[in-house]
Amino acid sequence: MDGPPPPRVPTLADVAARAGVSTATVSRCLNAPDRVQKDTRDRILEAVKHLGYSPNFGARALAAKRTDTIGAIIPTMDNSIFARGLQAFQTALVDHGMTLLLASSSYRRDLEETQIRTLVARGADGLLLIGHDRDPALYDFLARHTVPVLVSWVFDPTQPRPSVGFDNRQAMAEMTHRVLAQGHRRLATISGYTSDNDRTRDRVAGVRDAMAEVPDCAPLNVVETRYGIETGARAFAQILAKTPETTAVICGNDLLALGAMRQARTMGLRVPQDISITGFDDMEIAVIADPPLTTVRVPHGDMGRQAASMLTEMVRSGTTPDTVALPCEIMERGSLGPAPRS
Amino acid sequence: MDGPPPPRVPTLADVAARAGVSTATVSRCLNAPDRVQKDTRDRILEAVKHLGYSPNFGARALAAKRTDTIGAIIPTMDNSIFARGLQAFQTALVDHGMTLLLASSSYRRDLEETQIRTLVARGADGLLLIGHDRDPALYDFLARHTVPVLVSWVFDPTQPRPSVGFDNRQAMAEMTHRVLAQGHRRLATISGYTSDNDRTRDRVAGVRDAMAEVPDCAPLNVVETRYGIETGARAFAQILAKTPETTAVICGNDLLALGAMRQARTMGLRVPQDISITGFDDMEIAVIADPPLTTVRVPHGDMGRQAASMLTEMVRSGTTPDTVALPCEIMERGSLGPAPRS
DNA sequence: TTGTAAGCGTTATCAC
DNA sequence: GTGATAACGCTTACAA
């Protein structure tokens, strides 16, 4: 006696046989239901359900030349900087009938490049990338493969690619204005690494923009480091070692700011009485810092949702949308105060 | 005059033609290089490079019946709870030549179910899931489709599926032991929702396990809520309203603990002099809380990396690995102190 | 070691 | 509205 019959995964042909129609009709019924008569449609759907049929992905991709899959490459998932936007992006993609292929580059240009190629090879219909900064050859590659690209986390209308994001430079300038308005004139900045990273560069540029409008500012002390609490703490110590007269430290990221605040406390400095500290991102923890962190609120959710619909539209229609700017908001909380009268 | 020739994407046949061999040989050369002679291999690789050939994903999936793609469904990316483990998982996956298909369920059982089906339909070769709790019919479905499943974030050897994770129950019992050792006898717990969630249930059970060993404990006050800082704060207020004699609040998650600490401060309670608070996860921010949070360190990175190799192995060899337990570690910092002598 | 050729399961273009 | 049937581009026995 034989074992049970091999539980083969049902195919279109099985459904067609059971419904007494051709495979073409079944395919139509599944992809354009109204191009098939009601009663045959019912028969087909019954068969589909009965057999537990689900289309073969490879076959569909091969025949239809699309995968309904969107690739995204973000610098890191180690903290929630990108995770929140990604969450919104993924959820919205699902609503559009798309699936997310995800990779992270660890902020490394070479890794990002191989991952872009991998995702394209894996059949991504479109790509979401963070920032514009990358080898032009890569954009050529994507164009040759006719893979639409949407850039996020930035707003730079001078770039040739569509993007959905916020103006890092202007947001940081606005924050710096607030700092200057409090009377601070000896500023320092803790920035993420600026090589291959237009967001961090723009943020530092924003600080300088605002400072340029005020005549009596001391030169800006800029320290670059990796994003993180520990690194922020070290950078803060470094700043106070070099320019102890600093009264405000503008951080390119909330983690850096939290690290800076911890280090300030360690060094016996009161925030904001002795020194002011600001962040960027408005992570959930900004409000529980002590004092609560004054920071720039980034529109993570909107960005993710908009990116999903724009990219889906690009893939489905082949069009190129206009670049979209989303507003940031300065969240004034407790960590920014008046400059101490030295 | 015509425009430029349509830049068709090169196929295996193109490569074969240029190298003067059959498509079979090219295919072999790409998948098992040592089964083809050195000089023909060189010719083929030259052709591949010259043409910029990259295999068609759909065709390969159809013919080979695999996609080298692993699906993962996590409850949320909104905070870094899962993001860190996922980062390690994804990075390790790439090292194994796999790509990550990601979905998040927002802690909703129905959403998770449809996403599991979607990922399988999208050709995921294997699946990483968080926790064991789900409809048995789903596991049947996965078995029928011969999709190997690895469960993570838990260790429960009584379950029929392999998993890689930590013992939530034991870890929480250990933490509770430390709390009891400080003389606390009136405990409360802020837990994540326990329906459809074995991790949260196990953590609460762990608290009870430890309490059961001590005779003079007051009944445990348990409040369930969504994971978050705000919700943690509200839960804390709720607890003190109902059982104001509580001297220690054991939280199922760091976010809840941070919210609780903030609320305690708001209510004029000193941590840990008036009330002790503990967390779970050891998120990066635990150390910058004031006082630093005593919490359970979860082996995110190891878990992610191990999950990647186990799942890759399962997919490639069809074997089922043994369940793996990873150790947690109690991080004693400042938020747990001796019970106040009321 | 290499080539031949038969699938793999869809979609899409035609006729009917 | 429905049915044949030819792609789609690759892998993999099997043959040579």
CB B248 within 8 A of CB B276: yes
Q: Say which residues have a Cβ less than 8 Å from residue B158's Cβ, sequence separation at least 6.
A: none
Question: What spatial distance separates the first Cα and last Cα of chain A, rounded to whole Å?
Answer: 95
For residue A289, the chain B residues in CB contact (below 8 A) are 288
Q: Looking at the partner chain, which of B58, B106, B262 has a beta carbon nearest the beta carbon of A123?
A: B58
Tokens matching residue A73? 């490459």
CB B101 within 8 A of CB B70: yes
- What are residue B325's DSSP bridge partners? B165
- Could you give the CA distance from residue B145 to residue B128 in angstroms, rounded to a whole number? 15
Of A276, A296, A292, the C-alpha closest to B290 is A292
pLDDT at B81: 87
Sign of CA dihedral A53, A54, A57, A63: positive
Q: How many residues does the structure list for chain B?
A: 342
- Could you give the CA distance from residue A184 to residue A99 in angstroms, rounded to a whole number? 48
- Could you give the CA distance from residue B77 to residue A53 in angstroms, rounded to a whole number? 31
pLDDT in tens, B27-77: 999 989 988 899 999 999 999 999 989 899 999 999 989 899 999 999 998
| Domains detected in chain B | 12-55 (1.10.260.40), 68-166+299-327 (3.40.50.2300), 168-298 (3.40.50.2300)
Q: Looking at the partner chain, which of B101, B102, B290 has a beta carbon nearest the beta carbon of A290?
A: B290
- Could you give the CA distance from residue B150 to residue B161 in angstroms, rounded to a whole number? 7
**Number of C-beta neighbours around residue A100 at 10 A:** 23
Peptide bond into B272 cis (omega under 30): yes
Any idea what the Cα angle at residue B222 is, between residues B220 and B228, rounded to 5°? 140
Q: What tens-digit pLDDT sequence spans chain A (342 residues)?
A: 344 444 578 999 999 999 999 999 999 999 888 888 999 999 999 999 999 898 999 999 989 888 999 999 999 988 788 989 999 999 999 999 899 998 999 999 999 998 999 899 888 999 999 999 999 999 998 988 889 999 999 999 999 999 999 999 999 999 999 999 999 999 999 999 999 999 999 999 999 999 999 999 999 999 999 999 999 999 999 999 999 999 999 999 999 999 999 999 999 999 999 999 999 999 988 998 989 999 999 999 999 999 999 999 999 988 999 999 999 999 999 999 999 986
Nucleotides of D under 7 A from a protein CB: 1-5, 7-13
- Could you give the CA distance from residue B79 to residue A80 in angstroms, rounded to a whole number? 5
Q: What tens-digit pLDDT sequence spans chain B (342 residues)?
A: 344 445 578 999 999 999 999 999 999 999 899 888 999 999 999 999 999 898 999 999 999 898 999 999 999 988 788 989 999 999 999 999 899 998 999 999 999 998 998 899 888 999 999 999 999 999 998 988 889 999 999 999 999 999 999 999 999 999 999 999 999 999 999 999 999 999 999 999 999 999 999 999 999 999 999 999 999 999 999 999 999 999 999 999 999 999 999 999 999 999 999 999 999 999 988 998 989 999 999 999 999 999 999 999 999 888 999 999 999 999 999 999 999 986
CB A189 within 8 A of CB A222: yes
**Type of residue at A155:** F
- Could you give the CA distance from residue A97 to residue A122 in angstroms, rounded to a whole number? 18
**Type of residue at A91:** T
Count CB pairs under 8 A between chains A and B. Answer: 162
Chain B: closest CA distance from residue A50 (Å) = 14
**Type of residue at A338:** P
For residue A285, the chain B residues in CB contact (below 8 A) are 229, 258, 285
Nucleotide nearest to B19 (CA to C1'): C2
Tokens matching residue A259? 């690290």
pLDDT at B295: 98
Q: Looking at the partner chain, which of B99, B104, B284 has a beta carbon nearest the beta carbon of A118?
A: B99
CB B310 within 8 A of CB B161: no
- Could you give the CA distance from residue B279 to residue B287 in angstroms, rounded to a whole number? 11
Tokens matching residue A324? 């979209």
Chain A: closest CA distance from residue B230 (Å) = 9
β-strand pairing of B187-192 with B149-152: unpaired
pLDDT at A342: 66
Question: What spatial distance separates the first Cα and last Cα of chain B, rounded to whole Å?
Answer: 95
For residue A121, the chain B residues in CB contact (below 8 A) are 54-55, 57
- Could you give the CA distance from residue B79 to residue A79 in angstroms, rounded to a whole number? 8
Tell me whether residues B76 and A87 touch, CB distance under 8 A.
yes
pLDDT in tens, B210-234: 999 999 999 999 999 999 999 999 9
Which pairs with CB-CB distance under 8 Å and at least 24 residues apart come from A65-69? A65/B58, A66/A125, A66/A315, A67/A123, A67/A124, A67/A125, A67/B57, A67/B58, A67/B122, A68/A97, A68/A98, A68/A99, A68/A125, A68/B122, A69/A98, A69/A99, A69/A100, A69/A101, A69/A122, A69/A123, A69/A124, A69/A125, A69/B101, A69/B122
| Residue A33 Cβ under 7 A from any strand C atom | no
Of A63, A77, A124, the C-alpha closest to A99 is A124
Tell me whether residues B104 and A90 touch, CB distance under 8 A.
yes
Between CA A13 and C1' D1 the distance (Å) reads 19
pLDDT at B342: 66
Please give the sequence-ordered ranges of beta strands (E in DSSP) within A28-174, or none if there are none.
69-74, 99-104, 126-130, 149-152, 163-165
- Could you give the CA distance from residue B182 to residue B338 in angstroms, rounded to a whole number? 5
To probe the interface with B, which of A102, A113, A116, A117 has the most B CB atoms within 10 Å? A102
DSSP 8-state secondary structure symbol assigned to residue A125: S
pLDDT in tens, B253-266: 999 999 999 999 99
Chain A: closest CA distance from residue B59 (Å) = 5
pLDDT at A1: 38
CB A120 within 8 A of CB A108: no
Nearest residue to nucleotide C13, by CA–C1' distance, is: A24
Tokens matching residue B89? 């998982």
Between CA A28 and C1' D2 the distance (Å) reads 10
Tokens matching residue A118? 């991998």
To probe the interface with A, which of B9, B57, B127, B236 has the most A CB atoms within 10 Å? B57
